[in-house]
Amino acid sequence: MSQPFISRFYRTDVIISIVLIALAAWVYWYAGFLITENSKPISAHTFPRALAVMLGSSSLLLLLLSFSQHVETPSVSSHRISGLSPNLFVILMLITLVVYTVLLPISGYIITSLIMIVLWLWLLGKRHIGELIGFSVGVVMFVYVLFQSILNVPLP
Amino acid sequence: MENILHGFAVAFQLMPLMLVIIGVLLGILLGAMPGLTATMGVTLLLPFTLQLNVSPEAGMAMLIGIYIGAIYGGSISAVLICTPGTPAAAATLLDGYPMTKNGEAGRAITLSTCSSFAGGLTSALILMFLSPQLSTFALKFSSPEYFALAVFGLSMIVSISGNNVIKGIVAGIFGLLLATVGLDPIQGVPRFSFDQPELFEGIGFIPALIGLFAISQVLYEMVQPQSGNRPPPSLAFSFTQVKEWFQYKFTWIRSALIGTFIGSLPGAGCDIAAFVSYNEAKRFSKNPEKLGNGAPEGIIAAEAANNGATGGAMIPMLTLGVPGDAVTAVMLGALTVQGLEPGPLLFRDHPETVYPIFASLIIANFVMITGGFFTARMLSRVVLIDKKLLMPIILLLSIVGAYAIRFSMFDVWVAIFMGAVGYVMKIRSFPTSPIVLALILGPMAESNFRRAMLLPDAELSIFFTRPIACTMMILSIITLSAGLWSTFHNPPQKNN
């Protein structure tokens, strides 16, 4: 039985807490570069540093609580979609979103969106070719007409 | 009274009435689309109202209609697809979407529509009769009070985090850190921008909202099995739902008043009003643990407040010439273009324009409740669409909506990144709403804290020596302490 990729780890909250503590340390260090000779005691660095301390301490608390029974952890899905485990499926979907965003300025809204919607529908298990094409064309054109023609909001 | 009657006589003429109806219906559609905000709608239609060559009152009637419609319309997508159409509806989804998941989309829409109407109408009446008094009180707010208001708003992270208060606090602080990205509000020093011009303006709030709620929800839903035992969604409207809404009269009256007051504070808009009101609903509720799981009070509080803020935001605009939020800033421009000078003298010199505006606001709310019931029922059918077809539509609208805010591909990247973050948070039971709250209130908190510290002889005690600020700080401490106390005395059980 597979689970979404993060959930596969035991006590993932421990890992998240450690990552956030590291982030807090980096923010505290980085905010030091915001202090200039003319800086007043309360300046551009104050809030980031205060927040870094708060994030570090609350993440430390989360870390400690992760070993006890104080933090709720979720139940997760374990069924397969198009033959893929949920973890692989989510990663694949994120990759398609990245590809879509890269292609949008290159090949434009209509062509890219048509291809992507067909791909998303196919990944979700739709196989009927007429449905894939008909639905994609309908949705893409509806959004195009609404944004570009009616509302005059330009699309890529 | 004579002015009021004259106002209604003008507002009921064919052209203003027609424009307010078109404005409300267009606003509902705009608001329901993720990424298209009330501000964008009013801005897009402003040149159109000028080209129409109609009277200033008729032009303003249309803009008011769009404003009212869009703030209400944002709740429709929040309730149906867990995607707030406008930032003002971010608090609505906390209970609206769980209600839809329970098969009660129609009930959620009814509660939302009635509450929006009550909030909007209350604020319109207050605007008509009490605006000078309210604006005088709002003027007592300066940076210490605004900082205290922001802290009070942030303290409700514990209310919206459900059983995961610690995780909610971590998420909220993470959101506050995200809000510090960009030029700092006082000195203009770039922070965490790594010389990327797109980051100078900070993390876009709406792309973040789209990522955290829409994209993450789509990813989450895609990997959930098609539920066989989920109740079929009911879109039915019944007067029982209206009667149920009326039973919560104290919630919507209180929320409408909160919304009107917060809306009247310059810079504090509908989104802040909705969250503050939601927190108060939880504080007053007999079953606070039910809020966040599809409780009617949650929807009622958020919607009565965000629509209450619409009339509230017009109070400083008309009485002081200071916009209450971004939409009224555009309206202020519209009045100025028409040769009118908003401010104390507007009431004395141009009552023939001011009172029709008040009347249009009231009419717009009646159009909203009527049009809302019809359009929302039609839009509600979205929940009946096969999930496999619906998900790609939401993804497409999310990407296009994120882009449409500033016509920036960078915002699309922000939405995708926040979508991935939101998905991880969702499967690890980190509430996402605290990030949204922090992104809204973070800049307000920092800029007003630093401004307060620039006041002569300012010390940290300034937040406890001024009555309004002190009251809000004490309320914040109580809210935070109560949330933490209940967390450590009622720890949730692990599922795995």
Q: Which residue has the tokens 């979907």?
A: A93
Beta bridge partners of B190: B183
For residues B180-203, average pLDDT: 87
Average model confidence (pLDDT) across chain B: 84
Judged by CB atoms closer than 8 Å, whether chains meet at A72 and B493 is answered as yes
Per-residue pLDDT, B407: 86
The dihedrals phi and psi of B183, each to the nearest 5 degrees, come to -70, 135
Structure tokens at B156: 């409700």
Q: How far is A24 from chain B (nearest CA, A)?
A: 9
Q: Are B119 and B107 in contact (CB under 8 A)?
A: no
What residue in B sits closest to A144 (Cα-Cα)? Answer: B400
Per-residue pLDDT, A7: 42
Can you tell me the distance from the alpha carbon of B398 to that of B411, in angstroms, rounded to the nearest whole number?
11
Judged by CB atoms closer than 8 Å, whether chains meet at B166 and A48 is answered as no
Q: Are B269 and B86 in contact (CB under 8 A)?
A: no
Query: Which candidate, A124, A153, A150, A151, places its Cα nearest to that of A136?
Result: A124
For residues B26-54, average pLDDT: 77
Please state the ipTM of this predicted complex: 0.86
Judged by CB atoms closer than 8 Å, whether chains meet at A97 and B222 is answered as no
For residues B27-47, average pLDDT: 78
Length of chain A, please? Answer: 156
Judged by CB atoms closer than 8 Å, whether chains meet at B427 and A4 is answered as yes
Judged by CB atoms closer than 8 Å, whether chains meet at B429 and A73 is answered as yes
Q: pLDDT band at A74, cuts 50/70/90? A: low
Q: pLDDT band at B307, cuts 50/70/90? A: very high
**pLDDT of B372 above 70:** yes
Q: How far is B140 from chain A (nearest CA, A)?
A: 25
Q: Which residue has the tokens 């993440």?
A: A59
Per-residue pLDDT, B420: 94
Q: pLDDT band at A86, cuts 50/70/90? A: confident
The C-alpha torsion from A48 through A53 and A54 to A59, rounded to 10°, is 120
**pLDDT of B50 above 60:** yes
Q: Which of residues 3-62 of A touch B (CB under 8 A)?
A: 4, 6-7, 12-13, 16, 20, 27, 30-31, 34, 36, 42-44, 46-48, 51-52, 54-55, 58-59, 61-62
CA angle B104, B437, B262 (to 5 degrees): 90
Q: For B456, which DSSP code?
A: T
Per-residue pLDDT, A39: 65
User: What one-letter code names the amino acid at B329?
Assistant: A
Q: Which of A72, A114, A142, A149 to mutate to test the interface with B (most CBs of B within 10 A)?
A: A72
Q: Which of A27-41, B334-348, B482-496 has the highest mean pLDDT?
A: A27-41
**pLDDT of A10 above 80:** no
Q: Which of A67-81, B172-186, B223-237, B265-279 has the highest mean pLDDT?
A: B172-186
Q: For A84, which DSSP code?
A: B
What DSSP letter does each residue of B91-135 carry, written as one string?
TTHHHHHHHHHTT-HHHHHHHHHHHHHHHHHHHHHHHHHHHHHHH
In this complex, the residue of B186, B222, B403 whose CB is nearest that of residue A89 is B222
Judged by CB atoms closer than 8 Å, whether chains meet at A58 and B388 is answered as no
Per-residue pLDDT, A37: 66
pTM above 0.95, yes or no: no
Per-residue pLDDT, B233: 61
Per-residue pLDDT, B43: 76
pLDDT tens-place string over residues A31-72 = 888 877 666 778 888 999 999 999 999 999 988 888 765 455
Can you tell me the distance from the alpha carbon of B256 to that of B152, in angstroms, rounded to the nearest whole number?
18
Q: pLDDT band at B237, cuts 50/70/90? A: low
User: What one-letter code names the amino acid at B144?
Assistant: P
**pLDDT of B265 above 60:** yes
Q: pLDDT band at B405, cuts 50/70/90? A: confident
For residues B136-154, average pLDDT: 83
Q: Which of A92, A123, A151 to mutate to test the interface with B (most CBs of B within 10 A)?
A: A151
For residues A128-145, average pLDDT: 90
Percent of chain B with pLDDT over 70: 94
Which residues in chain B are closer than 8 Å to A154, comparing Cβ atoms? 407
**pLDDT of A115 above 90:** yes
Can you tell me the distance from the alpha carbon of B496 to that of B494, in angstroms, rounded to the nearest whole number?
6
In this complex, the residue of B191, B388, B446 whose CB is nearest that of residue A125 is B388
Structure tokens at B301: 């509080």
Per-residue pLDDT, B304: 94
Q: Which of B219-233, B269-283, B293-307 has the highest mean pLDDT?
A: B293-307
For residues B334-354, average pLDDT: 76
**pLDDT of B79 above 80:** yes
Q: How far is A131 from chain B (nearest CA, A)?
A: 10
Per-residue pLDDT, B227: 55
Can you tell me the distance from the alpha carbon of A52 to that of A31, in angstroms, rounded to the nearest whole number?
9
Beta bridge partners of A81: A84
Among the listed ranges A58-67, A123-132, B160-169, which one has the minimum average pLDDT value?
B160-169
Per-residue pLDDT, A4: 44
Query: Which candidate, B256, B346, B370, B343, places its Cα nearest to that of B17?
Result: B370
Q: Which of A60-69, B335-344, B424-433 has the highest mean pLDDT?
A: B424-433
Query: Which candidate, B171, B193, B196, B173, places its Cα nearest to that of B183?
Result: B193
Judged by CB atoms closer than 8 Å, whether chains meet at A69 and B412 is answered as no
Average model confidence (pLDDT) across chain A: 83
Per-residue pLDDT, A136: 93
Chain B touched by A144 (CB under 8 Å):
no
Per-residue pLDDT, A69: 56
pLDDT tens-place string over residues B449-480 = 999 988 887 788 889 999 989 998 998 898 88
Q: Which residue has the tokens 């010199």?
A: B349
Per-residue pLDDT, B494: 44
Q: Which of residues 72-111 of A touch B (CB under 8 A)?
A: 72-77, 79, 81, 86, 89-90, 93-94, 97-98, 100-101, 104-105, 109
Which residues in chain A are closer than 8 Å to B44, comparing Cβ atoms? 151-153
Q: Are B222 and A89 in contact (CB under 8 A)?
A: yes
For residues B318-342, average pLDDT: 77
* Three-state SS at B51: helix
Per-residue pLDDT, B495: 39
Per-residue pLDDT, B242: 83
B15: CB partners within 8 A, 6+ apart: B54, B55, B58
Can you tell me the distance from the alpha carbon of B271 to that of B151, in angstroms, rounded to the nearest whole number?
15
What residue in A sits closest to B163 (Cα-Cα)? Answer: A72
Q: Which of B41-45, B100-104, B123-127, B405-409 has the highest mean pLDDT?
A: B123-127
Q: Are B200 and B182 in contact (CB under 8 A)?
A: yes
CA angle B151, B160, B80 (to 5 degrees): 125
Q: Residue B102 to residues B224, B342, B414: CA-CA distances in angstroms?
A: 16, 47, 31
